[in-house]
Structure 1
């Protein structure tokens, strides 16, 4: 057994995966052999879910059946909605509310006590979680606005992404909005063994139920170093706008003061994140359709400035978060809901990774290198 210390488990291989491949040097992301650009343009989020969970893209008949099964599970028990409302009224953070509500969903799942090795029943639970998370998030947001929740549309003709926007606003989204949200979900669905996926897999390696795995993934994603950069980017853009500052001058001053530019740099990508390229294109489309190109001008100006400063040459390039927040802002979505939407998408990837690992399971058990005392002398309580 090696005693080499690899902080953060950097570069440690713990298993093999057929789900996704991230080539950080080339800026390439692949889901089960399909590059992310093709899936984002040609496939729906439901097709991507099917691909991740079943290994192949669905036929038309398979997709129809899958969409029907997913849509049929969108409704959430009233007791869960009451809890979500109470959390919203108490001022709970959306990620914490999502964590709590997801855990509570298990109380109403008929398969929660199933044999953990029963893949079909585990998939059924995963399908229910995936279908209900958008309902929970939309209900939470409406509750803190003082509005009643909108019941989900159980008709599979309204997509997973479209139904979320419908529950959020009370109106069916236009085609551009639905397609844009669907694309955003596809881009965030899976991304290798990142912190939240690793957390879900560690829990899954104990043969815990799928709810426990997803709740763990949500908890890991809520950390500031993992899922919150898209909100940081939008806060930066609003700060620039509120100060009526030039984006490049603001970014220059920020760097000279020793600050970082959020949305730049990635643990794996050393060139521009391919998902950032896709979302930049979608932001251009949204800006053209609405006539409001402010965020596009700000982000592209900052990106061009940082590229001229040589950051990209040093392997510090825009990641997916640099553009995702600007896209969500076009829908009027509050900034603190960006990471929960990330979770809403990544649920599918967490489930796929857990089931893949459990198929050839070995409980994950890394170890510390002990650096504490080994021969301490015990002092009786009255003598301390």
Structure 2
């Protein structure tokens, strides 16, 4: 049994965790015992961060202190800003810019000489990373537009402040609440590729900056992050087509085109996060443009009723509705995956800290399938 090959480590248990649990058959996601629906409807992203990092939901005093500690860490160094400007001018991809920014944050870390086994110091470092990522991302986008960065607003929560720094305008309540909810939904999701990458790095007792940088790198791959961008590009293609959106879906299906945002390695039913974002998309449509919501619901209805995909375990995942929600909020399409990272960094940090409490270097084996007993030939005789 120990020698059974499990490609991609699928189904292999490598750790125990109290952070999140996924029931793929029931379509249920919980963070530390709380359903994602309850957290999305009743908590803020800051409360969810506190829950993941400290093991319980904060009371008012704890939340006030925690939020203040995040707010005071939002500023990034002039060196980071200068690098974001250079990368924007060079046409760099946003995920690559974010990877660089997170790595650079450590240069200004006041506790960078802390003992790697000091988990309280690691948590403080993780808090600084989480607070600074929105500032660096927003600055990069502003530089791409030829605009100056917008300083953080200490009166705004993390979600609303990001939208403010991105656009230069304070978001309305619906936009701020929707984006805050999206951050909650993406904060953690078991041992996905980026979380596991962060844990592997953390298991070496490398610093948390290295672990989060590795998480960003893993998320940048198209097989992990990026599906929400793919969904939005399809919706734009529908919008620019001469066909009615129902006709477009039927033609795409006849041509055998795969619609992004459907199917998941864990869920066999509709992703519970997709249900929540679908509701937010509908609310945004009622207060603005409705066509993006119409397109997504038409696609889902066609693929589920006409093709019966949901009966075969292929249903909408979180990316199917997050793409249109972000677009309705005015967020550039290639910023969708960096926003995913902005949210998921909290989960990466939580998993690294949890694993390091009883750390063991993650060191799997590979089955050797190469040659044996080859005769060595000296260089001059080859």
TM-score by length of 1: 0.98
1:63 paired residue number = 63
2:355 paired residue number = 357
Secondary structure of 2:26's match?
coil
**2:23 corresponds to 1:20:** no
Q: Residue 304 of structure 1: CA displacement? A: 0.5
Q: Residue 244 of structure 1: CA displacement? A: 3.0
2:247 paired residue number = 249
- Please list, as runs of the form range in 1=range in 2, the aligned pairs for 1:105-184 lying within 5 A after superposition: 105-153=105-153, 155=154, 157-184=155-182
- Please list, as runs of the form range in 1=range in 2, the aligned pairs for 1:47-62 lying within 5 A after superposition: 47-62=47-62
Secondary structure of 2:371's match?
coil
Residues 381 and 254 from structure 1, CA distance in 2 versus in 1: closer, same or farther, beyond 3 angstroms?
Answer: farther
Selected match of 2:292 from 276, 292, 295: 295
Q: Residue 332 of structure 1: CA displacement? A: 1.4
Q: Residue 169 of structure 1: CA displacement? A: 1.0
Secondary structure of 2:363's match?
coil
Q: Residue 59 of structure 1: CA displacement? A: 0.5
Distance 1:186 1:274 in 2: 13
1:276 paired residue number = 274
Calculate the aligned-residue CA RMSD, in Å: 0.9
Distance 1:245 1:364 in 2: 52
Q: Residue 178 of structure 1: CA displacement? A: 0.7
Distance 1:59 1:364 in 2: 36
Gaps of 5+ in 1: none
Distance 2:181 2:126 in 1: 21
Secondary structure of 1:312's match?
helix
Distance 1:8 1:257 in 2: 31
- Please list, as runs of the form range in 1=range in 2, the aligned pairs for 1:1-384 lying within 5 A after superposition: 2-153=2-153, 155=154, 157-290=155-288, 292-308=289-305, 309-384=307-382
Q: Which runs of structure 1 show a deviation greater than 2 angstroms over 4 or more consecutive aligned residues?
A: 244-259
Q: Residue 174 of structure 1: CA displacement? A: 1.0
Q: Which moved more, 1:347-356 or 1:323-332?
A: 323-332
Distance 2:207 2:110 in 1: 13
TM-score by length of 2: 0.98
Q: Residue 251 of structure 1: CA displacement? A: 2.8
Count of residues in Structure 1 that have an aligned counterpart in Structure 2: 381
Distance 1:180 1:14 in 2: 35
Distance 2:46 2:228 in 1: 24
Distance 1:249 1:302 in 2: 10
Secondary structure of 2:22's match?
strand
Q: Residue 250 of structure 1: CA displacement? A: 2.4
Distance 2:134 2:113 in 1: 24
Q: Deviations over 1:190-228 (max 9, x none)?
A: 000000000000000001100000000000000000011
Distance 1:238 1:346 in 2: 27
Q: Residue 253 of structure 1: CA displacement? A: 2.8
Secondary structure of 2:114's match?
coil
Distance 2:246 2:312 in 1: 19
Secondary structure of 2:29's match?
strand
Distance 1:311 1:47 in 2: 36
